[in-house]
């Protein structure tokens, strides 16, 4: 393939309800979309960086900047253009995993669309439908939380994840267990809000039979997670700490996690995400697909990834309406708690032109 140019497109997508985590509240997604134009097909990638560097050091203005100044020009000059070559071509630049992932995804999409192959097939999907969970933000009160969980269970979600932080942990978990029973698959996500000194407090979650506790400690503190794992009964899952297959292997061998959340944006793309899946599978460590409030474009790729055999736990791959009134693609809809894995060429979905035009705030064309 030959790269003709790359479009960076910013879209503004209001969320159906505010989403509060231990690091902040999102009320709208400011999404950066990457469209690569080649001598064959076009391809799309969604950058999962948020407006502010609170989940990680990345943020959407920085992603746009590094793409336009460094990543796109370097890729344009590379001798070979296909999905597998992108990571290597960009490896001279440190970090910026979310920006790199968006560009790699767009190139892969273009390549697969020309070849008539689907993302799922390319990655090694073995399922046509994937089981879905939902991530429930921190609320102002327990009754408000119970209403939200009630609504999601009624829609058919197969697993509930509660966002927690100091002051919003044991009581909400207890309330959800008391109201909905022990059979509900339930897990919690702290987004690094605790320290090892909170170990005894976190052990108070042990009686509730949680599937896992996600990223309780700082992302740098892999050794702390290994220690915490010896002090609490709930299995530890890492998210922010896992930035590559290599860090996944190291965390597993240190005993820092029993489960891994795979987010392609966090690790530089779907090909590295697949390598993490493979490393975890080799160690018997279950993985699940995380979410970053993606539009239908990012969701399509996540659902394909979640169809790989090692993804044995329901992911944060919820239906479009959990996030947006109107998605930029045909909406993903839940059927019996599952989403269908797209099987068309590439991502198998594309933005709807009228919707895309309506939500676009800026477009920028980079000629190659």
C-alpha span between 19 and 24 (Å, rounded):
8
Residue with tokens 């690094």: 192
Rounded CA separation 313/311 (Å): 6
Distance CA 70, CA 269 (A): 17
- For ligand NPG, the binding residue among 292, 328, 350, 355 (CB under 6 A) is 292
Closer to ligand NPG by Cβ: residue 291 or 310: 291
Write down how long the chain is: 368
Angle 270-282/97-115 helices, nearest 10 degrees?
100
- The residue from 63, 256, 293, 328 that contacts ligand NPG (CB under 6 A) is 293
Task: State in angstroms the smallest separation of the CB of 302 from ligand NPG.
Answer: 8
Backbone angles phi, psi at 360, to 5 degrees: -70, 135
- The residue (of 277 and 322) whose beta carbon lies closer to ligand NPG is 322
Q: Residue 298 or residue 346: which is nearer to ligand NPG going by CB?
A: 298
- 72 or 347, CB closer to ligand NPG? 347
Q: How far is the CB of 350 from ligand NPG (least distance, A)?
A: 20
217 is written with which tokens? 């400690």
- CB-nearer residue toward ligand NPG: 83 or 216: 216
297 binds ligand NPG (CB under 6 A): no
Query: Between residue 310 and residue 339, which ones bind ligand NPG under the rule CB under 6 A?
Result: 316, 318
Residue 187 is a binding residue for ligand NPG (CB under 6 A): no
Is 13 within 8 Å of 356 (Cβ atoms)?
no
Question: 100 an active-site residue?
Answer: no
The closest of 232, 290, 292 to 257, measured between CA atoms, is 232
Q: Does 46 bind ligand NPG (CB under 6 A)?
A: no
**CA pair distance 5, 145, nearest whole angstrom:** 46
**Least separation, in Å, of the C-beta of 131 and ligand NPG?**
14
Judged by beta carbon, residue 292 or residue 341, the one nearer ligand NPG is 292
Report the DSSP beta bridge partners of residue 243: none
In the complex, the smallest distance separating the C-beta of residue 39 from ligand NPG, rounded to whole angstroms, is 34
Closer Cβ to ligand NPG, 119 or 323, answer by number: 323
Instruction: Report the SS3 class of residue 10.
Output: strand
Which distant-in-sequence residues (6+ apart) come within 8 Å of 162 by Cβ? Answer: 136, 145, 172, 173, 176, 186, 187, 188, 189
From 43, 131, 216, 291, residue interacting with ligand NPG (rule: CB under 6 A): 291
**Active-site residue flag, 263:** yes
Residue 356 host element (H or E): helix 353-359
Count H helices and E strands in the chain, helices first: 14, 13
Q: Binding to ligand NPG by residue 298, rule CB under 6 A?
A: no
Alpha-carbon gap, residue 37 to 154, rounded angstroms: 42
Binders of ligand NPG among 120-149, rule CB under 6 A? 135
Size, binding site for ligand NPG by CB under 6 A: 14
CA distance 184 to 250: 32
Least Å from the CB of residue 19 to ligand NPG: 7
Catalytic residue among 2, 94, 100, 163: 163
Residues of this chain, 19-38, that bind ligand NPG according to CB under 6 A: 21, 26
- Residues numbered 189 to 218 that lie near ligand NPG (CB under 6 A) are 189, 191
Is residue 47 involved in binding ligand NPG (CB under 6 A)? Answer: no
* Strands 213-214 and 236-238, sheet pairing: parallel
Annotated catalytic residues are 163, 263
Applying CB under 6 A, which residues contact ligand NPG? Answer: 21, 26, 50, 55, 135, 189, 191, 239, 290-293, 316, 318
């Amino acid at each position: 393939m030959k790269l003709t140019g790359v479009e960076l497109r910013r879209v503004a997508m209001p969320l159906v309800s505010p989403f509060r985590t231990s690091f902040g509240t999102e009320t709208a997604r400011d999404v950066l979309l990457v469209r690569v134009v080649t001598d064959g097909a076009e391809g799309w990638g969604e950058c999962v960086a948020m407006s502010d560097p609170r989940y990680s050091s990345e943020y959407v203005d920085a992603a746009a900047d590094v793409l336009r100044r460094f990543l796109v020009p370097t890729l344009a000059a590379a001798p070979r253009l296909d999905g597998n070559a992108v990571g290597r071509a960009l490896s001279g630049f440190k970090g910026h995993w979310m920006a790199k992932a968006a560009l790699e995804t767009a190139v892969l999409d273009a390549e697969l669309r020309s070849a008539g192959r689907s993302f799922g097939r390319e990655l090694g999907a073995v399922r046509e439908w994937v089981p879905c969970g939902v991530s429930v933000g921190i609320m102002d009160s327990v009754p408000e939380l119970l209403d939200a969980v009630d609504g999601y269970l009624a829609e058919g979600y197969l697993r509930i994840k509660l966002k927690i932080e100091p002051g919003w942990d044991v009581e909400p978990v207890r309330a959800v267990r008391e109201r909905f029973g022990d059979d509900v698959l339930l897990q919690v996500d702290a987004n690094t809000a605790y320290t090892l000194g909170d170990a005894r407090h976190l052990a108070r979650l042990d009686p509730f039979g949680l599937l896992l506790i996600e990223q309780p400690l700082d992302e740098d503190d892999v050794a702390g997670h290994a220690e915490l794992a010896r002090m609490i009964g709930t299995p530890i899952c890492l998210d922010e700490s896992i930035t590559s297959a290599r860090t996944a292997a190291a965390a597993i061998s240190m005993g820092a996690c029993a489960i891994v959340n795979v987010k392609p944006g966090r690790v530089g793309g779907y090909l590295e995400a697949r390598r993490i899946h493979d490393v975890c599978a080799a160690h018997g460590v279950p993985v699940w697909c995380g979410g970053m409030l993606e539009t239908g474009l990012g969701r399509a790729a996540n659902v394909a990834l979640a169809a790989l055999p090692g993804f044995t736990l329901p992911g944060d791959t919820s239906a479009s309406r959990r996030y947006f009134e109107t998605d930029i693609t045909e909406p993903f809809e839940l059927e019996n708690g599952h989403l269908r894995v797209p099987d068309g060429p590439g991502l198998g979905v594309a933005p709807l032109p009228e919707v895309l035009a309506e939500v676009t705030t800026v477009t920028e064309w980079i000629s190659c």
